[in-house]
Structure 1
Amino acid sequence: MAERKNSTFGLLGKDISYSFSRGYFTKKFKNLGFTKTKYVNFDIPKIEDFPNIIKNDDSICGINVTIPYKEEVIPYLDKLDKTAKKIGAVNTIKFTKRGNLKGYNTDVVGFEKSISPYFKKHHKFALILGTGGASKAVAFALKRNNIKYKFVSRNPSGEKEISYQDLSEKIFNKYNVIINCTPLGTSPNVDKYPTIPYQYLSKKHLLFDLIYNPELTIFLEKGKERGATVKNGYQMLEIQAEESWAIWNKNK
């Protein structure tokens, strides 16, 4: 894969100084011997600032998207990949030869590949904590694996969502896959965690946290203490990053 002259890739988000992506791709470019390629953070306070990023830098070849812009960025794109369209959230943007912006979702592949080896026969129902862009990709992957799910929200609406107050022993006995798609517990706020009834967790449960820093969040720690299988989001991020790289370099 040849290096192109003065190529810039980056991460679009808000308050993203902790960025996994920047460190990952900077190391990748170094290993590839790419000296003219860089990965930067496009840290903006509001999505309305996004067009200025594009306008002011013609070296940009591809962008990853993180919280809170995975859904908000869509109106600024010219086209969506069919999977991203179905999910309703984007985490990868490709700049096409015509100069158009096309949105993709590699979160779904990252999540699916990292959690599927842990699925057991009794894992038929899942709770998704949070209702943001990442949770939509998680829901899409669960559906593909024939796992029924409900979103857990502070402000539930519709039959697919329930509130944190509704979580009971009965629900936990049925829904034994729990995925944290909220930012609660992310470094440096490591003392935060979703308010769920952890006392109802057991060895039948599988807990997945999209957070990777710290390696073991309180959410995962509490599950581990009760015998649950736990998995953090680091591998998911690695997989989705490589999927993004493949998309950016296709037909180049």
Structure 2
Amino acid sequence: MEEKVKFGLIGRNIFYSFSKKYFEEKFSELKLPNFSYSIFDLKEILDVQEIFEIENLRGFNVTIPYKEQIIPFLDELSDEAEKIGAVNTVLFKNGKKIGYNTDAFGFENTLLLHKNPKQKSALVLGNGGAAKAVKYVLEKHQIPYQTVFRNGKINFKNLPKEAVNSHLIIVQCTPVGTFPNVSDSVDFPFENLSAEHLVIDLIYNPAETEFLKKAAAQKATTVNGENMLKMQAEKAWEIWNI
């Protein structure tokens, strides 16, 4: 009998996650009946040490709120993960726990798919692990940006309307509005959006967040996080099969 090969996802309150279904369908398509994918809902990052003990675990994904907190528990980081300062994919290889960031790959794919040449600068809403991957991609493509977050110099209370007018790419990186809290949205001057704007919300559940609904009402082009999610998952699969 073939040895079981295990994967999973660590995070907190992640019962809504798409990853389990996505990877189980992949295992089925590729005829890999001995492969499995589990959800590990951790109360705190220290609990990850129990996950490390699971037999035949080849790797796992990392989501909110542990993308930065996981780093001290790992032996090595890929160049990208080190530069970004956040990890969303872990590979176990040759007795080492290696951290990667595939969010950057996923976001880059989404951005280049939808961005037009007039959209030259960005507002990044949020300052967590996902926002770090977004900023890494913007820097790579020489797109200047400003970060807006709760405790930042520019925050959701004092965000100048001119900043919204002049930054035609808006990337919503906070978890606000994620299922089940679908009526929530970050405080934002939506009236300053226009048909010139590209608004990307990294949330994928629901498919259209309250934030995207309000942006679409101003005729902005709106994109959710589904493509980014699929692209980062494909990249994670590639890493696990190195």
Q: Specify the TM-score bucket, using the shorter chain as the normaliser.
A: over 0.9
Q: What is the match of residue 125 of structure 1? A: 121
The one-character-per-residue Cα deviations of 1:61-87 (angstroms, maximum 9, x if unpaired) are: 011000000000000000000010000
2:176 counterpart SS class: coil
Q: What's the offset of the Cα at 1:228? A: 0.4
Q: Is the 8 A contact 2:157 2:187 kept in 1?
A: no
Q: What's the offset of the Cα at 1:122? A: 2.0
1:86 corresponds to which of 83, 88, 109: 83
CA–CA distance in 2 between the matches of 1:171 and 1:114?
23
For 2:36, the aligned partner's letter is K
1:34 maps onto 2:26 in alignment:
no
**Aligned positions of 1:141-152 closer than 5 A:** 141-152=137-148
The one-character-per-residue Cα deviations of 1:28-71 (angstroms, maximum 9, x if unpaired) are: 1111111111000111100011111112x121001100000000
1:181 maps onto 2:173 in alignment:
yes
CA–CA distance in 2 between the matches of 1:7 and 1:70?
23
Q: Is the 8 A contact 1:126 1:149 kept in 2?
A: yes
Q: Is the 8 A contact 1:77 1:101 kept in 2?
A: yes
For 2:149, the aligned partner's letter is S
The one-character-per-residue Cα deviations of 1:205-243 (angstroms, maximum 9, x if unpaired) are: 110011111111111111111110000000100000000
TM-score, with normalisation over the residues of structure 1?
0.93
List runs of 5+ in structure 1 lacking aligned partners: none
2:109 corresponds to which of 99, 102, 113: 113
Q: What is the match of residue 153 of structure 1? A: 149
Tell me the C-alpha RMSD between the 2 structures: 1.2
Change (3 A) 1:4 1:147: farther
1:207 maps onto 2:216 in alignment:
no
Q: What's the offset of the Cα at 1:169? A: 2.1
List runs of 5+ in structure 2 lacking aligned partners: none
- Percent sequence identity over aligned pairs: 45
Q: What is the match of residue 163 of structure 1? A: 155
2:235 corresponds to which of 237, 243, 247: 243
| 4+ residue segments displaced more than 6 Å | none
Q: What's the offset of the Cα at 1:4? A: 6.2
How many residue pairs match? The answer is: 242
Q: Which deviates the most, 231-240 or 114-123?
A: 114-123
Q: Is the 8 A contact 1:123 1:147 kept in 2?
A: no
